[in-house]
Amino acid sequence: MLKAVVFDMDDTLLSINLSAFLAVYMMDEARLLADIARTNPFSAFATFGSALLNLTNNARDDDDDRTNRAYFNDTVERRSGVPLDDPVIADAFTYYEREVLPRRNDSIIAAHPRSGAHEAVETLLDRGLRIALLTNPSFSRACIECRMGWGDMLDMPFELVTTMENSTRCKPDPRYYLESLDTLDLAPAEVLMVGNDPKRDFPTPDCGIQTAYVGSGKPVRSTWCGSMAEFAEHFDEIEELFYERQERGLLDIVQDTSREK
Task: Tell me the pLDDT tens digit for each residue of 68-100.
Answer: 999 999 999 999 999 999 999 999 999 999 999
Whole-angstrom distance, CA of residue 14 vs CA of residue 121:
13
Judge contact between 231 and 212, C-beta under 8 A.
Answer: yes
- DSSP for 122-154, written as a single string: HHHHHTT-EEEE---SSS-HHHHHHHHHHTT-T
Q: 53: which residues sit within 8 A by CB, 6+ positions away? A: 59
What pTM, to 2 d.p., does this model score?
0.94
Judge contact between 8 and 117, C-beta under 8 A.
Answer: no
pLDDT tens digits for range 45-64: 999 999 999 999 999 999 99
The pLDDT assigned to 248 comes to 84
Whole-angstrom distance, CA of residue 128 vs CA of residue 188:
18
